[in-house]
Structures are given as structure tokens and as C-alpha cells.
Amino acid sequence: MRGFEKYLALWVALCMGLGLLLSQTVPGVGAAIDSWQVRGVSIPIGICLFLMMYPAMLNLQLAELRKLRRNPKPILLTLFSNWILAPLVAAGLAALFLRGNEQLMVAVLLLGASPCTAMVLVWGKLAEGNQEQNVVNTSLNTITLMVLYVPIVSLLTGIQNIPLDRALLAISAAVFIGAPLVLGIASKRLLIRARGEEWFASVYRPAVGNLAIVALLVTLVVLFALNGEVLLHHFDQLLLVSLPLLIGFALIVGFNLLATRSLRFRYREAIITTIIGSSSHFEIAIASAVAMYGVGSYAALGTTMGLFWEVPIMLSLVYLGKVLRRKGFWKA
């Protein structure tokens, strides 16, 4: 699967293109998919988003958090980047570029207030970073996401006077973070008790992780099949939301690279810190946007564009990190 993950940016682009093609060549495909819903929530999208979230929760290892005392600086820097810098940058860029486009502003804020807990394990492995630190950090992010995500999004939208259904935001967090978390903890304990920790770690978790990537790609096909007409007739909106997303990535990645160098981190800690501190939890952002505004909304498409740009940027960061290591950018 590693070779497949290496070209994930290509698969993302192809699935988006396939969704657009279906919307134009198969009459009624969007209406047919959209009809599978319960109380406004798309069943196909809901299932895929749940499958994207569940594997991330299997990585939660509370016992690993005790290792924070060994070398807390990388974790503290990542927390600062995830929960202070990224939300503030997202809020500032959304106000600067998207004023008057409330759904696109919300999309950028949802992405800025959701630190990644899943795909960073893939990027960290490809970058040959410190995977122990990666597990500790993603476990901590899972816990903080449960506590901070809804309050920070509510605060940032409130400051900018953007009307938001906070009840739906909280419900989406409970469904797409809380439920997978409970299921992940329960299934992990039961499976380890039944089959052993080695089988769980070497067989079950990788298989479910592969399923999550498939669910991600299916989600893209469905979203773009549903919204093909909107996309093709409002392509300017996607370009508009891409501007703050790309500038935000540049600012946050740049900050983390310089901060890890200034704090004299070694490569294996520095690259993990930069990757986690610069990425977003696009799964919960997309789920929240769909829950609050609907599958065919600009908010849903805006959060999807976050995914579209994040995958190639993170892959590029993997290779950039290796180049900087060879050039002695970080402490030897």
C-alpha cells in the first residue's frame, strides 16, 4: 500500500475528475445519490466519512502520553501550531479574501480549527520521521479535538458575525468524532483480547487504514458527482477559496520549519512536528460542512478543496524534508 499512498495526490485528482465526468455523462446521477439521505444527511457520504474517521481512532494510545515528559518541546510546538497559529491564520485569511462569502469562510475556519489525527501517520512514515512521537501527538490531537474543535469554530465564527448552527456543529462532532472514538476503543480492546496485540497491529489496523483511504476516494467521487454542475458553473468560487488555503499552508509550514530549526530539533522530530503542525483534519471539516450546509453547498466544496491541496502539499513536504536533511538544515 505504500506505493499507492506515494501517489495519493494523483488518485485524489483522478477521483475528483471521475466525479465531474459522472455528473456530466450520467443523467440524474447527482439526484439519485442525493436521494439517499436521512433528515438531510447523505447516507453514502455519512458512511464514507465514518469509515475515514474510525481508523484514526484505532491509533489512540493513552499510555503513550506518559512519554510527553521525555521531550515535550516538539509536542508543545505542535499544539501551539495546531490550536493557536492555524486557527488565527485561517480566521485572518478568511476575513481578508472571503468577506461576503460566508460558507467559504466557514470552510476555511473548519479546516483551520481541526488538527490532523490520521493521514499524518502516512506522511510521517514516508518521511522517515519519529513514529513514536507521531503516535503520541496524534493521540493527544484526538483528545484535544473532542474538547476544543466546537468551541474554537464557534468563537471564530462568532467574532466575524457569521451565523452558524452550533447545535448541528456539536452533533456532527459527536457523530463523526465521538462515535468512531468509542467504537475504536471498544473494538481495539475486544480484538486484542481475542486475537492478540500483534495481530491487531500488523493485520487489522493496516487493513482498516487501507479501507479509510478507499472511503476517502469514494467520498471525492460522490461529492464531485453531486456538485458537478455547481462546480463547472462556479469554478471561480473554488479558485477563490484556494487562495487563503494555499497562503495559509505556506505561512504555517514556513513557521514550523523555521521554529524547528531555531529550537535545534533533529530531523526525525522536526519533520513530524512540521507535518502534524501544518496539516488539518479534513474528514471532520467535510463532515461538519455537510451536516450544517448540505452536500451541494459551497462550504462542503470549500472543505473538499482543503483536502485537494493538502495531499500534494504534504507529499511535497515529505520530499522537502529529506532534501533539507541532506543539506544540514536541522541539527545533526
Give the count of beta carbons closer than 10 Å to the beta carbon of residue 167: 9
pTM of the model: 0.85
Query: What's the pLDDT score for residue 245?
Result: 96
Angstrom distance (rounded) from CA 332 to CA 326: 10
pLDDT per position as a tens digit, 258-313: 999 999 999 999 999 999 999 998 888 888 888 888 777 889 888 988 888 888 89
The grid coordinates of residue 279 equal 496539516
| 239-243: long-range pairs with CB below 8 Å, 24+ | 240/97, 240/98, 240/101, 240/104, 241/98, 241/101, 241/104, 241/107, 241/108, 241/298, 241/301, 241/302, 241/305, 242/305, 242/309, 243/97
Residue ranges, the chain, pLDDT below 70: 1-6, 29-31, 33-35, 37-42, 61-65, 67-68, 229-230, 332
